[in-house]
């Protein structure tokens, strides 16, 4: 029988090595304890970053002091909750200063006591003693080896090197080295995950020495938020951006408008939100849009705005009834995927002037922050063009040339603003519309669709609904009448069940079944959160930790260095730990397992 001391050491070691999510490319850890507190000297390319709250070890003073700031020359002022200077021009130093502030705050202020990760009632026996001599993390040396460019802060896929190297020695010295400031942010996130809160308050790690090398598998790693079916207040979008960054995701795709509402303020066309928003105040002003973009860029996240066209456009009928066909059409199931219906009148000469005015207003405000603009294109219902006085038929021979003309003109507007168009897969795959080589296609219909698209040479991001639609499997949101319809639709499942559990999300390989040439065209993916039954109350639990599972697939890859699929036995303990970190940081993520399982010492405690 193992002694208590040996058992405690074993349990501490088993628990500690769970530490990082998503799993780095390589990681080596030890079993030495280090503590960390306010007295932490941080340098960035030689400049000092100090805690001014440190009383025992204040910022070391150099010989020269800046008379304007009162700070030592070359020293970077550092405080909790530091907010970097805003955009649209961004500074590498400001980006890193903000990252350091958030990372140390997460370590010292928003950490957690890992009692759920130890066997029942064993926490006090396994966490480090407060009464033994302590070694501290004394300095964090950050080195950026490359120079950021404008592309760093509004990148196309592949424009930014997000790799980093991290070390933490038993002597208390930590280092992060990265090519870009974005890589520095990724390294700071990993650094923050090495530490726990002691049950008596202090912060520690038992992993020293640490050596990590890390880089992402995919360039496009995102979350799709639908803010049109249900409005999301700004603080919920900001919180989601924070969680995206913690998970080393790097894209937020905002589905900004749909047939249900138009919350986006367009100063050149104010009637759109004045008549299309759900209520007064449930809109995003130009200032809000810039703030969302800025908040994201400061965290290494790029926001991609989508205005879906030519379908999912019904709400515009409230302000421009002469541009929309099918608004209020019945039965809706004949004319659209869900109520209310409404599509652009494709052959109306007023359409071009409307979109010129809309895009001339919006795109210049987006272009300083993002390299992409999503033009939509999904679920265009040809039956609805029977109702269009400018078309009058559902014949594809008539409609497809009109779609081609519309997409050509619309994508020309996007390119004129210096942006790259994105579309849903139906545009090239279902409607046979020709698109430019620069266009990125978002696929949601499954692996066969991805193989077909990449086989035709299209660049693709995947949102395969069979795995990565997080709204699925939660039941029907439509009301069902008693009688025949009731019987036919019982037990009232939605169209895309089952629920996409984190295990199903984690099992998906975006490049499965593709040739090497086809796989190279898969830039990454996004998990989707369509908002028929999602709002600010349940948003966190819908997204996390299932979005985290996709985050590891996209950052680390579905397979390990040996080419073997990463297992739930490896993922579950680390994901359960990371979920506790998200809770401590203010995101109400769902449990991974019950506490009995996380306290089991290893992942086989709860297994089949």
Longest dimension (CA), the chain: 86
Residue 259 has pLDDT above 90, yes or no: yes
49 pLDDT band (50/70/90 cuts)?
Answer: low
Question: CA 128, 54, 297: angle at the middle one, nearest 5?
Answer: 90
How far apart CA 598 and CA 488 sit, in angstroms, is: 42
pLDDT of residue 62: 44
Ranges 49-58, 190-199, 253-262, 338-347: which has the least confidence = 49-58
How far apart CA 168 and CA 162 sit, in angstroms, is: 20
- Rounded to an integer, the average pLDDT of 191-200 is 97
- Rounded to an integer, the average pLDDT of 405-424 is 98
Residue 53 has pLDDT above 80, yes or no: no
pLDDT of residue 4: 36
Ranges 67-76, 129-138, 380-389, 539-548: which has the least confidence = 67-76
pLDDT of residue 67: 46
The residue length of the chain stands at 608
Ranges 10-14, 229-233, 470-474: which has the least confidence = 10-14
pLDDT of residue 76: 52
- Rounded to an integer, the average pLDDT of 152-170 is 98
- Rounded to an integer, the average pLDDT of 491-501 is 96
pLDDT of residue 50: 55
Question: CA 301, 249, 551: angle at the middle one, nearest 5?
Answer: 170
Kindly compute the dihedral angle of the four CA atoms of residues 500, 512, 430, 332, in this order, to the nearest 10 degrees: -10
Residue 388 has pLDDT above 60, yes or no: yes
pLDDT of residue 78: 54
| Cβ burial, residue 559 (10 Å; 0-12/13-18/19+) | middle
Q: Are residues 451 and 470 in contact, defined by beta-carbon separation less than 8 angstroms?
A: no
pLDDT of residue 1: 36
* Annotated active-site residue in 28, 127, 271, 379: 379
Kindly report, residue by residue over 456-467, the tens digit of the pLDDT.
999 999 999 999
Residue 64 has pLDDT above 60, yes or no: no
Q: Which residue has the tokens 């961004």?
A: 90
Paired residues of 175 in beta bridges: 141, 167
Q: 3-state SS of 292-334?
A: HHHHHHCCCCEEEEEECCCCCCHHHHHCCHHHEECCCCCCHHH
Kindly report, residue by residue over 273-313, the tens digit of the pLDDT.
999 999 999 999 999 999 999 999 999 999 999 999 999 99
pLDDT of residue 430: 95
87 pLDDT band (50/70/90 cuts)?
Answer: confident
pLDDT of residue 84: 86
Paired residues of 443 in beta bridges: 462
Q: Are residues 510 and 522 in contact, defined by beta-carbon separation less than 8 angstroms?
A: yes
Kindly report, residue by residue over 120-131, the tens digit of the pLDDT.
999 988 999 999
How far apart CA 592 and CA 605 sit, in angstroms, is: 14
Whether residue 379 lies in the annotated active site: yes
Residue 58 has pLDDT above 60, yes or no: no
pLDDT over 70 percentage in the chain: 92
pLDDT of residue 83: 85
Residue 389 has pLDDT above 70, yes or no: yes
Residue 209 has pLDDT above 70, yes or no: yes
pLDDT over 90 percentage in the chain: 87
Residue 267 has pLDDT above 80, yes or no: yes
Residue 578 has pLDDT above 50, yes or no: yes
How far apart CA 513 and CA 439 sit, in angstroms, is: 23
12 pLDDT band (50/70/90 cuts)?
Answer: very low
pLDDT of residue 18: 58
423 pLDDT band (50/70/90 cuts)?
Answer: very high
pLDDT of residue 14: 40
pTM comes to 0.93
- Rounded to an integer, the average pLDDT of 320-329 is 96
């Amino acid at each position: 029988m193992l002694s208590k001391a040996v058992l405690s050491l074993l349990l501490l070691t088993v628990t500690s090595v769970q530490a990082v999510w998503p799993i780095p490319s390589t990681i080596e850890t030890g079993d030495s304890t280090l503590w960390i507190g306010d007295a932490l000297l941080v340098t960035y390319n030689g400049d000092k970053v100090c805690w001014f709250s440190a009383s025992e070890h204040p910022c070391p003073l150099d010989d020269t002091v800046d008379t304007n700031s009162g700070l030592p020359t070359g020293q970077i002022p550092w405080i909790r909750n530091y907010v970097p200077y805003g955009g649209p021009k961004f500074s590498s130093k400001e980006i890193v200063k903000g990252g350091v502030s958030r990372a140390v705050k997460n370590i010292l202020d928003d950490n957690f006591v890992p009692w759920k990760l130890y066997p029942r009632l064993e926490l006090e026996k396994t966490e480090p003693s407060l009464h033994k001599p302590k070694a501290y993390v004394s300095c964090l040396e950050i080195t950026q080896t490359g120079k950021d460019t404008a592309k760093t802060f509004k990148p196309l896929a592949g424009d930014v090197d997000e790799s980093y190297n991290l070390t933490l020695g038993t002597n208390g010295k930590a280092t992060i080295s990265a090519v870009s400031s974005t890589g520095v942010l990724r390294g700071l996130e990993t650094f923050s995950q090495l530490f726990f809160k002691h049950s008596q308050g202090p912060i520690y790690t038992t992993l020293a020495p640490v050596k990590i090398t890390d880089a992402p598998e995919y360039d496009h790693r995102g979350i799709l938020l639908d803010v049109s079916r249900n409005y999301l207040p700004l603080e919920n979008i900001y919180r989601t951006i924070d969680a995206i960054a913690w998970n080393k995701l790097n894209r937020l795709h905002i589905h900004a408008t749909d047939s249900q509402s138009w919350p986006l303020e367009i100063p050149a066309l104010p009637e759109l939100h004045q008549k299309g928003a759900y209520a007064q105040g449930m809109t995003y002003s130009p200032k809000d849009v810039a703030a969302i973009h800025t908040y994201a860029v400061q965290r290494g996240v790029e926001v991609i705005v989508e205005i879906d066209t030519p379908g999912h456009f019904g709400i515009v009928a409230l302000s421009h009834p002469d541009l929309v066909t099918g608004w209020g059409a019945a039965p809706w199931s004949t004319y659209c995927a869900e109520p209310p219906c409404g599509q652009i009148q494709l052959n109306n000469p007023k359409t071009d002037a409307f979109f010129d005015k809309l895009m001339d207003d919006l795109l210049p405000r987006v272009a300083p922050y993002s390299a992409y603009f999503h033009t939509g294109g999904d679920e265009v219902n040809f039956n609805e063009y029977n109702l269009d006085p400018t078309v009058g038929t559902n014949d594809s021979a008539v409609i497809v040339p009109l779609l081609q003309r519309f997409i050509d003109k619309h994508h020309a507007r996007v390119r004129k603003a210096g942006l790259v168009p994105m579309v849903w897969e139906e545009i090239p795959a279902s409607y046979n519309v020709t698109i430019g080589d620069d266009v990125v296609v978002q696929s949601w219909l499954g692996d066969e669709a991805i193989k077909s698209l990449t086989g035709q040479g299209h660049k693709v991001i995947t949102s395969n609904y069979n795995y990565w639609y997080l709204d699925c499997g939660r039941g029907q949101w439509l009301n069902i009448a008693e009688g025949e319809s009731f019987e036919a639709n019982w037990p009232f499942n939605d169209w895309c069940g089952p629920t996409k559990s984190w295990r199903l999300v984690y099992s998906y390989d975006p490049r499965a079944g593709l040739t090497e040439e086809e796989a190279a065209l898969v830039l990454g993916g996004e998990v989707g959160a369509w908002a028929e039954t999602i709002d600010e109350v349940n948003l966190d639990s819908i997204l996390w930790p299932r979005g985290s599972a996709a985050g590891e697939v996209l950052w680390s890859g579905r397979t390990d260095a040996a080419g073997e699929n990463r297992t739930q036995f490896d993922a579950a303990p680390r994901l359960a730990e990371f979920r506790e970190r998200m809770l401590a940081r203010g995101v109400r993520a769902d449990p991974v397992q019950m506490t009995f399982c996380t306290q089991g010492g290893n992942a086989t405690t709860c297994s089949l």
